[in-house]
Amino acid sequence: MLGYLASRLAQTVFVLLGVVTVAFLITNLIPADPARMLAGRQASEETVAGIRSQLGLDKPLYMQYGRYVGGLARGDLGRSYQQRTDIRTLLLSRLPATLQLTAGGIFFELLFGIPLGILAALYAGRALDKVVMVFAFLGVSAPQFALGLILLYVFAYRFALLPLGGYGTPQHLILPALTLAVTGAGWYARVMRGAMIETLQADYIRTGTAKGLARRRVVVKHALRNAVLPVIAMIGLDIGLLMGGVVVVESVFAWPGIGQLAWQAIQVLDIPVIMGTVLLTAFFIVLGNLLADLVYPLVDPRIRYG
């Protein structure tokens, strides 16, 4: 177990380094000059050249890369070209908003996904099951940005029940989190349904019912407990998926998180910020995958750490 953990951590570091490398190459391929973006409109060619050398952008690519990775090793993510702020400060100021949104998203996913999945499993093959599954499909297939706008229109504009976007109170969180959750809720419902049907067919459950235990008791006490475990393991993967997809929801709801920061940085080619946001998001994706991998063997004894 410890050995496994160590090798997985090493792998994680390797993957993050890979992400940094790919992101570095891509941002440097973009046909625009960050020094020019900084220099302003009045700048002479010399001014731009001066800024380029100040930022080390006149050095060969491999040296810039070396410097960036060297900085990373010391925990230094660099400074924003535009705002001059330390990237770590910048990321930390945005992270709470994104974490809140992600947590809210997972909450709603589970809130809708699990009961719907159980319902469908208990009525497997019958009309209710079909209806739930259609809803699950709709959720999985809904375009987040359109859904977000429609929720805004209905709940915030027409009926003024919730704030029209922005950040701060729990009320602000409801609509963005709900939008983020719709896709995942459909997905959880499907997984929950599958796991539940499988457990209900398992021998011990059949035995339990055969021995005359009340069906409700069996369902609640045994089947549910076993079926919910794969869902818990899935949360790890989900963290990564949600973190990677917040750009859209944050943009629709003016949510001041990592996604918005990344999007604005791409617009003005603030390379250190782009790198920082990509790295942070990748970190959460990798962390989520790692958690999932660690939890799976706990819930499914057939899988071993390998």
Among the residue ranges 1-9, 212-220, 261-269, 291-299, the one whose residues contact another protein (CB under 8 A): 261-269
**What residues between 92 and 121 interact with another protein by CB under 8 A?**
93-94, 97
- Find tokens 């782009």 and name the residue: 274
∠ CA 121-123-128 to the nearest 5 degrees? Answer: 110
- Cβ 151 to another protein shortest distance, Å: 11
Judged by CB under 8 A, the residue of 137, 201, 215, 300 near another protein is 137
Cα dihedral 154, 160, 162, 164, rounded to 10, equals 80
Are 30 and 269 within 8 A, CB to CB? yes
**What residues between 170 and 229 interact with another protein by CB under 8 A?**
187, 190
- Cβ 284 to another protein shortest distance, Å: 9
Binding status of residue 267 toward another protein by CB under 8 A: yes
Q: How many residues bind another protein (CB under 8 A)?
A: 97
Measured CA to CA in angstroms, residue 276 lies from 83, 85, 265, 273 at distances of: 14, 12, 10, 5
Binding status of residue 37 toward another protein by CB under 8 A: yes
Closest C-alpha among 79, 102, 283 to residue 184:
102
Binding status of residue 44 toward another protein by CB under 8 A: yes
**AA letter at 236:** G
Q: Which is nearer to another protein, 150 or 298 (by Cβ)?
A: 150
Q: Which is nearer to another protein, 228 or 243 (by Cβ)?
A: 243
Binding status of residue 27 toward another protein by CB under 8 A: yes
Among the residue ranges 65-73, 115-123, 136-144, 205-213, the one whose residues contact another protein (CB under 8 A): 136-144
Binding status of residue 152 toward another protein by CB under 8 A: yes
**AA letter at 54:** Q
- Cβ 281 to another protein shortest distance, Å: 4
Judged by CB under 8 A, the residue of 180, 223, 235, 247 near another protein is 247
- Cβ 219 to another protein shortest distance, Å: 24
Helix (H/G/I), strand (E/B), else coil: 79: strand
Binding status of residue 161 toward another protein by CB under 8 A: no
Question: CB-based contacts of 272: which residues, under 8 Å, 6+ apart?
Answer: 77, 78, 79, 80, 81, 87
- Cβ 235 to another protein shortest distance, Å: 16
As given in the structure block, the two tokens for residue 289 are 């995958």
- Cβ 296 to another protein shortest distance, Å: 14
**202 secondary structure, DSSP code:** S
Q: Where are the alpha helices (DSSP H) in the chain?
A: 2-29, 34-39, 45-54, 61-73, 87-122, 127-141, 144-151, 170-200, 203-210, 215-218, 224-253, 258-268, 271-299
Among the residue ranges 33-41, 60-68, 106-114, 224-232, the one whose residues contact another protein (CB under 8 A): 33-41
